[in-house]
Structure 1
């Protein structure tokens, strides 16, 4: 079997099957995506991050290089999206929407399972670092872009720092560095919650996509999708190879940069009335298109 087909079947099909299940059962069982999403945001994701960071064995220089590459990718991608929007004569709202979808990849409920299937569970600690970095930076840049007429970057940064998954990172690192051992009951409880994160997030993604309705593909949707699926991973690839990261670490970082637009970006757009139809359609379009772009990327890696 050709390598591309094998990668698609073994790595991406399991992910899309669970997303498809959520897409199918959501409307039929009248499951509200918001409740599942909030559970993942406040419970499952923090437990997952605590579990992997408290036992991760990652070299500090690798972590710094990965974080640096992803921070620079977010800033450069956002800046280029801003320039493109202005050059095309788009207004402030459309330009901000392009920035939002360009910088905010679905590194959680899509990226983590793809990395797991592509690189194995040993890649999860680094994927978790990428998850935290992308979410913090994308939330800061995305919310700032969405509210630049009525809020401040400082407020957006403060909101990003209060993300539950980020809050548990510090005690998790302290447990790791201090070589501490949690009580068995606590360790098992956290483990059970952490193990539930990926399937819950994938089901939630499917339910959220089902609620979006039929998309209208415009030039701006294709443009934003190109920034998210092509430009962002290309920038990350140049950065990580320039930083001499080992191939596996570089691969995890690039793949996380190549994720489709995050569903949470549509929530931000709706909350701030930021061309929600454009953002939501881009989320759906990039999720479908990523079946092809991720398969091709994994072959190249």
Structure 2
């Protein structure tokens, strides 16, 4: 019973905030996703990442190991998902990137924070940054054939990650007044991202839900397996291993739908994956945490 209550305490705030966004749209109220997303990804999330890294008690060497493990895990997952797409005879441009790219921001960061505290958040922002770089390079290249590495480098979250890592490595800290201001801006990120996730799911028009269901179920299995095997191989500490598993197995990112829409892939099929995998995560995230917490 204690385990069930612990898992509910972690996951309930996540899905309740997403439900707020979903209900808000269904009631007909205005919500400008483009503005909120830009505010979050340009200002709030980079501030969150910078402060989380600067203040974390994690050894820089441990973050380096996690970085290598995350890169390897996504490499393994890419191979597994490519094999799945080929065996199922699906369109690579439409399905490969969404199956790889998890919602490490909207869902991964809050789950890591609620489940493992500031230490978990410090680990989670590293995986989130890696996923962001991968999404803006390889992800766009798969969908469009023309992804530009410089686009990822220009993303504020990448700069915030590098700057935060430098401050962590050197043991530096910004002045208290500045840290408090940056932290306050960063605190907007998690509730904004969760509410926006609910809004996005409410507005999507999914297609081929039957296929989306079995693909989402298989995807969770592949993600958990890849992250677990790689994390154990790198001998990650228990919290870092748990965060890696949670982050890699998060549902399909809403940005995958936006990329598909922009570059001419079948966005409705991707929308189906986003909706189904997000709803499935209501079950899979608590089950995963039950084994990890």
Structure 1: which 5+ residue stretches go unaligned? none
**Larger CA deviation: 8-17 vs 52-61:** 52-61
Deviation at 1:49, TM superposition (A): 0.9
Match of 2:45 in 1: 45
Change (3 A) 1:101 1:276: same
Deviations 1:93-142 (A, max 9, x none): x2222211121111111111111121223311111111111221233221
TM-score (norm 2): 0.92
Match of 1:191 in 2: 183
C-alpha separation in 2, matches of 1:179 and 1:242: 29
C-alpha separation in 2, matches of 1:266 and 1:73: 23
Deviation at 1:8, TM superposition (A): 4.2
Deviation at 1:223, TM superposition (A): 4.6
Deviation at 1:274, TM superposition (A): 1.0
Match of 2:285 in 1: 294
Match of 1:9 in 2: 8
Q: Aligned Cα RMSD in Å?
A: 1.9
Q: Aligned match of 1:209 in 184, 201, 215?
A: 201
Say whether the 8 Å CA contact 1:48–1:194 is kept in structure 2: yes
Match of 1:278 in 2: 269
Match of 1:253 in 2: 244
C-alpha separation in 2, matches of 1:279 and 1:201: 20
Match of 2:124 in 1: 127
TM-score (norm 1): 0.90
Q: Does 1:117 align with 2:108?
A: no
Deviation at 1:165, TM superposition (A): 0.5
Structure 2: which 5+ residue stretches go unaligned? none
Q: Does 1:146 align with 2:143?
A: yes
Kindly report which structure 2 residues correspond to 1:32-111, keeping only aligned pairs within 5 A, or say none. Answer: 32-90=32-90, 94-111=91-108
C-alpha separation in 2, matches of 1:297 and 1:177: 32
C-alpha separation in 2, matches of 1:240 and 1:121: 20
C-alpha separation in 2, matches of 1:104 and 1:39: 21
Deviation at 1:7, TM superposition (A): 4.2
Match of 1:172 in 2: 164
C-alpha separation in 2, matches of 1:29 and 1:287: 22
Say whether the 8 Å CA contact 1:102–1:232 is kept in structure 2: no
Match of 1:25 in 2: 24
Deviations 1:182-241 (A, max 9, x none): 23332221011111110011111111111114654132x235423542211211100111
Deviations 1:57-78 (A, max 9, x none): 3223322221122212222222
